[in-house]
Amino acid sequence: MDRVELDRVSKRYVLGQRLNAREALSAAAARMIGRSSRPSREIWSLRDVSFSLADGEALGIVGANGAGKSTVLKILAGITAPTAGVSRTRGRVAALLEVGTGFHPELTGWENIYLNGAILGMSRSDITRRFDQIVDFSGVERFLDTPVKRYSSGMYLRLAFAVAAHLEPDVLVVDEILAVGDAEFQRKCVMRMQEAEKEGRTLIFVSHDLETLSRLCERSLWLESGRIRDSGATEAIVRDYLASSLLAQGADTQRFESDGVVVHALRALPVEKGAGAVLMRGDRLRIETEFEVTHDVPGLDLAVLVTRSGGARVIDEVLSERSTVRLSRGRYRVSLVLPPLLNSGDYTAGLWFGTQYEELLDLTMAVPFTVHGSHVDRPERILVMALPFEVDRLDAAG
């Protein structure tokens, strides 16, 4: 039997709906004097959404704002009921949908730990047994006797996640909340969710951090306007979703010309996927240019450049240092393939043409491109090189 199941679930919200007796009387009076009231409008947040998950499975959900992602999670958590269809969840469900979900602001940190445990159906002794783990993970030990209404958003998040992840729920539902925490806390959260999967717990995860989502979830749904646009392996869903969001690589320069050289195209695209695909961290990158040498220029050379958004030049490779080809009059296509070195972030690809004595064309930052991926894993570094260490012990082993 599946741990989680949604069967043709739809959710409707009515805008302008009369909520109380006073509003209803006002509407009736308006009708009596012939004045029509503003009609209500229906908004379908979800339409016929179906999926199921077994124990230990993890499902990612991607989609633009307003696609229905949070509505799915609220239905799974029992916060709202579907208008049509059936939602079934077996076992304890811990939902982390907003900072401090389920916390009582007037209660202290330790009181809220016991309150949340009781809501999940746990005994006081079970909560006590895990209490130290929760406090240690959250890092708010000094503030346990303080009402949580005085917590910062970061403290709130730390304690909320620690409670949700350590009270052994059967189903863990996490929305785009980890963005509130710092990089180290996000890393701890991801590790804890990976442990929960290994323990056989079911995870439903919504995040704009698509690399983290890819690490946690083998399978994903893509929601668009409340419907499932696609589902399947997370890597394929993430690539297609990014490409549809107009974040795809493969843009060309306009025509650039100097005395002796005309550049017709410059492209930056992932090697394995080709034009129109997004570039993910871990992909090989091809920088490709098509140009024409209009007349012989003695000693003509070419450099391919990659520059970080902040201005740091990351790659500066010169053709003459890697090839014996001489650029005489004619038309050429030149490609440079980069191994998966670049960390996630924004870059530009560029070209330089010239000789030892003069510069003919400088297109340092001609084509912007983005390497997509998580910013959690040491975002300050530009290159991810995985270089080997050599370690020699200098004292005698004890």
**Domain 256-372 coded CATH 2.70.50.60:** yes
Mean pLDDT in the chain?
84
**What sign for the dihedral angle of Cα 102, 107, 110, 115?**
negative
Of 111, 372, 84, 392, the residue nearest 243 (C-alpha): 372
User: What is the spatial distance between Cα 3 and Cα 15, in angstroms, rounded to a whole number?
Assistant: 34
Percent of the residues in the chain that have a pLDDT greater than 90, as a whole number: 37
d(CA 113, CA 161): 11
* Range ranked top by mean pLDDT from 26-30, 36-40, 387-391: 387-391
Residue 196 DSSP class:
H
Architecture of the structural domain at 4-22+36-244: 3-Layer(aba) Sandwich (3.40)
Nearest Cα residue to 6 out of 110, 103, 84: 84
What's the predicted TM-score (pTM) here?
A: 0.67
* 105-149 tens-digit pLDDT: 899 999 999 988 887 777 899 889 989 999 998 888 999 999 998
In the block, which residue shows the tokens 């340092």?
Answer: 364
pLDDT at 198 over 70: yes
**What is the distance of C-alpha 199 from the center of its chain?**
24
Structure tokens of 396? Answer: 């005698």
pLDDT recorded at residue 168: 81
Give the span between the Cα atoms of 390 and 55, in whole angstroms. 43
Domain ranges for the chain: 4-22+36-244, 256-372
Q: Virtual CA dihedral for 112, 95, 344, 348, nearest 10 degrees? A: -110
pLDDT score at 207: 83
pLDDT top residue among 364 and 330: 330
Side-chain half-sphere exposure of 20, counting CA atoms within 13 A: 1
| Helix 124-138 with 109-119: angle, nearest 10 deg | 130
